[in-house]
Structure 1
Amino acid sequence: MLDIAFIRNNAAAVAAAAHAKGMTVDLDQILALDAALRRDKTRLETLRAERNRIAAEFLTAAEPLRAASAEHSRAIAGELSALQGRVTEMEQALRELLLTVPNLPWQGAPIGPDEKSNQVVRVVGDRPDFAFTPLDHVAIADRRGWIDPPRIAKVAGARSYVLKGRLALLEQALLFDTSRRLAQEGFQPISVPALVRGDAFVNTGHFPFAREDTFELPRDGAYLAGTAEIALTGLHGGEIIEERDLPLLYAGFSPCFRREAGSGGRDVRGLLRVHQFYKVEQYVICRDDPEETAYWHARLLANAENILRDLGLPYRVVECSTGDMGPGKVRMNDIETWVPSLTCYRETHSCSSLHEWQARRANIRWRDRKGRVRFCHTLNNTAIATPRILVPLIENHQTPQGRVRVPSFLQNYLGGEDFL
């Protein structure tokens, strides 16, 4: 959420940001409501001052004037009551409108409507040159008995999965090792629930924008989160964090749930787009210093790249366009990993800086050494998400015999095995 004073003073820039992100925002309505609200608040203060003046003068006023003062005070009280009700309604209406206003993208973001406008920043690693006809991950995993599509479809329907045997152990090894290495980087491992209240989704900006992609449990007044970021932001909602305690660094583990609404049948085969998955999310709350935020953005991205390099997977980093980055993002970089069966790169990681847009919604602030209080900045980045990462891992590391090479740093988790 943007500060209304910022919108008031930078309406043209906010309108340009909304246009660049492909969003429709009624800034005229927001500014008109803001102006009316400020007028009514000024009137409230005037009436309160008048009521206090009358009360102060009442005891010393002559008897003939007391009746008139009392009548005047009652009239003021009636107007105050009506005006306060109107102000409360306008404040709520203005907040709901402000929740629909996007953040301003940084100047380096490519301008464009969707992912086709993303720009490749760097390409890392050599794509495999197979001397045999490679299989896709579904064929390999099915041949080895690691998955069971027909049976799990009976249980959970389409876009569900089950992992068995050594592949299940590999998934757990990936998740654990990622948490372990992030702990060594100073991030606190933390597991959070996937079942979260609706206001937590509002605070992160997932509502109202991505409501259609979220599973709802109406009876419980809760939703299933698609990322640990939602719960992690909620942990510090309404707090003032002392400067000495910043930055807060989390490695959040959680089950995740997404409808994958609007994916239009893309990548539905196998493990790429499933409704339930697991993720270790890097999450940062820091001071509202653009340079510090840029440092953490680069650090989060580097952590994810180090994992991919250790996995021996070819990937590329892209600078996401304004139309692809989402409403709250100032900057977003995706990491796309090579999937041989699709002969293209597919997104496996996403790194985002939101500045104070998210913290303002959740009311997360920090206090400096001089006692000044300001809104924090927040960042998040996928460290690892399974089973999606298993797709490029299986396909890039397959052998002619249909086995899968195990990256060296994971072999200890699998009894020293070189191959699955």
Structure 2
Amino acid sequence: MEETYQEFEPGFTKEEALAEAARCLQCKKPGCRKGCPVYNAIPQFIKALREENYATGLDAIYRHSYLPAVCGRVCPQEMQCEAGCVLGRKGKAIRIGKLEQYIAEQGKDIEFAKVVSTMGSVAVIGSGPAGLAAAVQLAQLGYSVTVFEGESEPGGVLLYGIPEYRLPKEVVRREIEKIKNSGVEFRLNTLIGVDLLLDDLFKEGYQAVFIGTGAGLPRKLNIPGEDLTGVMSAIFVLQTINLYNLGQLPDNELPTKKGEKVVVIGAGNVAMDAARTSSRLGAEVTVLARRGADQMTARGRERDEAIAEGVMIRPCIAPLEILGVDQVTGVKCAPTEVMDDGHLRIKEEESFVLSADKVYIAIGQRPFARIVSTSEGFKVDKDGLLLSDEHGMTTREGVFAAGDVVHGPATVVKAMGEGRRIAIEMHAYLLRNR
């Protein structure tokens, strides 16, 4: 399993980090900050890194982001901060993500300030990026914060959904330990809507509730054969492999075996994660993308690294049917063509069959309905996403939400930024209602 852990691109050495930081022009109007979803203090932390003043640099980051060791690794910087770097127009943008990762590593022993809880108590449901950011922000504002998590260890998608080679679990655990040390309490193995109801939280004395449960329920293809043994959601595959890597499952429960033929249906980052992880386990992996390779929703870097690791990507191919009697044996596919109006035409007359032992579906996720179905007052859209106002309050008084449970699957940094912002809105609400 060693190959499943190895990061494709290691972090900077000290010499590399200092050399890269020295390239920064310290622009008066930094385009990098405009490109960052949380408007991170990028020039400031790069300047501090250049001076080897890591505490100052980390303090600058913490004004905007609470998970730098995570965001430095998994953010799509090439489409955000690095896309706004002026040096990118002249050659090569500053590697902002790797500098953030480096400074977070150097400051890994620097703790969040611990604030005395004088403002009352709030509950946070879910310990993914939105929930963790909301918890830190609320604790910093003086609240007693309890995070409710259904799993046996906190971290949400950071721990269970992102492969080890992209985000080492030791990094996630270290960040969460900092959050615990700031005074945030975690109640594990507690599913809200199952073990406790939302109403129970208010009965326990929590003044407000933040929902950051993400979008973990996979969407279906709705094609014949989808219920055959061997057909799984890519999210389930990643969670299972991560549970194995965490020592919580035996190896006979791994979904992918060496030598198997795996077909991954989907073209996003989850599809790439499932494909690369399966390839690292020794499977022969093919990814089917309905549109062209340059139109895949996955990061270009993830796509290119998948190809470098032996994953075959078949662009402009759509699945028609999953074949087999009881167990998957193949996928019937057909080429696609993009029409003038942007729609796809599936050329069923040119269909063919790919043999497969496993089929992993990665065409998006939607939220679980556990909380909504066991509580009153919530409204959701047709996709099951929670409706909320500009302040993050749902249609249930005193209950706020942010992240994927509101807008669907997006980036870690977006969820984290929204969690932090909505926590501040919760504070304003609670002050008005004291």
Q: Which has the higher helix share?
A: 1
TM-score, normalization by structure 2: 0.23
Tell me: higher relative CO, structure 1 or 2? Use CA pairs within 8 A at least 6 residues apart.
1
Give the strand-richer structure, 1 or 2: 1
